[in-house]
Amino acid sequence: MDNAGNYTPFIQALSAQLKPQGKLLTSATASYVGGMIPVSSIPHFDFVNIMSYYAIGPSCGQADSEHFTYQQAVQDVQLWLDRGLTKQQLVLGLPFYGCSFGQYQSDYAIKDVVAPYGSDILQQDVIGNLCAGCDCITYNGISALNAKTELALKLGSGVMIWELTHDLSHSSSILATIAQQVSSAKSQSVME
């Protein structure tokens, strides 16, 4: 939201300077009023990265709900398509962290969720019980990340992650799993 009306003219002027130099203009934005870029600025961006995460956390949401669900991703993608973002511009953000309640610290890098519990924990999205007053960590496991990647490739141009330093070691990297899925989808579309 830009109550002063300065954002779009700034982005338009920036785009006019960057594009002749072959540079991309991108934005990362939330999907709530006050955290969104103005609709009038959308045509000037090459990519808009939708930060579709942090539905819950120590200071927001309900302790009995999951962090960044697939349904939230669907809603956020649709919101931005309805606002005029093109498929080529839309990039869906994926979290490489989890939020927690109760006895656990407030948030965890995904590597710090896996460290004490093992990589099998990535076959689910919650440690503990989702309920008000319960002890739990909620995050996106492999299945959720794969589903969101598929959504991003179907309705957008790809994914971004928050953040790379939260990933696991190279041998069990979540980024490598997502990259393999993207590569497979590209190969399949070339064959069609």
Q: Give the strands of the sheet with 90-95, arranged side by side.
A: 26-29, 47-50, 90-95, 158-162
pLDDT given for residue 160 in this prediction: 95
Cα–Cα separations (whole angstroms), residue 149 to 4, 41, 49, 66, 146: 36, 26, 13, 18, 5
Omega within 30 of 0 (cis) for the link into 192 = no
The Cβ of residue 36 has, within 10 Å, a number of other Cβ atoms equal to 19
- pLDDT tens string, the chain, 192 residues long: the values are 677 789 999 999 999 999 999 999 999 998 887 778 999 999 999 999 999 986 666 656 666 677 788 999 999 999 999 999 999 999 999 999 998 888 888 789 999 999 999 999 999 999 998 888 888 888 999 999 999 999 999 999 999 999 999 999 877 799 998 998 988 887 777 666
- State the Cα–Cα distance between residues 127 and 38, nearest whole angstrom: 38
Full-model pTM: 0.90
pLDDT given for residue 56 in this prediction: 65
Could you tell me the domains of the chain? 7-95+141-177 (3.20.20.80)
Q: Give the strand pairing for 47-50 and 26-29.
A: parallel
CB 63 within 8 A of CB 132: yes
pLDDT given for residue 1 in this prediction: 61
pLDDT given for residue 64 in this prediction: 64
- State the Cα–Cα distance between residues 54 and 149, nearest whole angstrom: 17
